[in-house]
Structure 1
Amino acid sequence: MDRMFTPDEARSLMPSILEETRELVAARADLAEIAFDRQTAGSSALGGIPELKALEARIEEILSGWTGQGIEVKGIAPVLVDFPSLLDGVSVRLCWIEGEPGLAWYHRTDLGFAGRRPLA
């Protein structure tokens, strides 16, 4: 069975999610810049293949850490994660997207992001 989070359990993980998201966003930007520079100019001040591979590995490490905790990663540009939960007996996802200061939204599992509502 997949892990189910209470809102308090999910919120307790948010400090580490926010910190790792800052790292992921920086790695994502560096990765894009290196790839673009290498394609257009042949090289990048940020590095080459070793740096690309290191950034990819770090992103994968962060994402694997989240999924290993039962968090569902829905996207990385922007970062979007869901925490499976039950609210009043209904299957929902506690939902956080990059840029939000904390976990404050949910949506029914069957509705997805378009059905987001504020958490009480």
Structure 2
Amino acid sequence: MGLFTVTQARAELARLRPVLDELVVMRADAAELAAAMAPGGTPTPLGGLPEWKAAAARLDELMSEVQRTGADLKSLAPLLVDFPSDLDGVPVLLCWLEGEVELGWYHRVDLGFAGRRRLP
């Protein structure tokens, strides 16, 4: 996949929001089901092993859907999505973190999340 402009990345993020919202729900369901199945775990009304397997499969589908856009799902908890881009000739990743209202950050590819800055 190619590079995203800021406008393209924001549009793709908007299109992905329902997928990302479902990822958050499935992540929580899978965690609750896994905890319930652990020795001494508290039962959950969500179910057991079959429901955990279904949640894990759906998580895989949703993560693949994000990756197919050309974006990079860097983290599941919290969700962290990077969009490859270029700012003034410098390779960057436009960076969205779960809880943020919009795509408003970037970091140089070589610096990673620690080098995160607000978009100009």
Give me the TM-score of the superposition, normalised by structure 1.
Answer: 0.92
Determine the C-alpha separation between the residues in 2 that align with 1:115 and 1:41. 40
Determine the C-alpha separation between the residues in 2 that align with 1:108 and 1:76. 21
The yes-or-no answer on 1:108 pairing with 2:74 is no
1:24 maps to 23
User: Percent same amino acid at aligned positions?
Assistant: 50
Matches for 1:1-120 after TM superposition, within 5 Å = 2-39=1-38, 40-41=40-41, 43-120=43-120
Between the two proteins, the alignment pairs up a number of residues equal to: 119
CA deviation after TM superposition for structure 1 residue 42, in Å: 7.1
Determine the C-alpha separation between the residues in 1 that align with 2:82 and 2:29. 25
Determine the C-alpha separation between the residues in 2 that align with 1:50 and 1:3. 39
- Contiguous gaps of at least 5 residues in structure 2: none
Q: Deviations over 1:24-55 (max 9, x none)?
A: 11111111111111212474321112211111
Give me the TM-score of the superposition, normalised by structure 2.
Answer: 0.92
Q: Deviations over 1:40-97 (max 9, x none)?
A: 2474321112211111111111111111111111100000010000110000000001
Counterpart amino acid of residue 110 in structure 2: D
Three-state SS of the structure 1 residue aligned to 2:67 is helix
Deviates more, 1:99-108 or 1:29-38: 29-38
Counterpart amino acid of residue 37 in structure 1: A
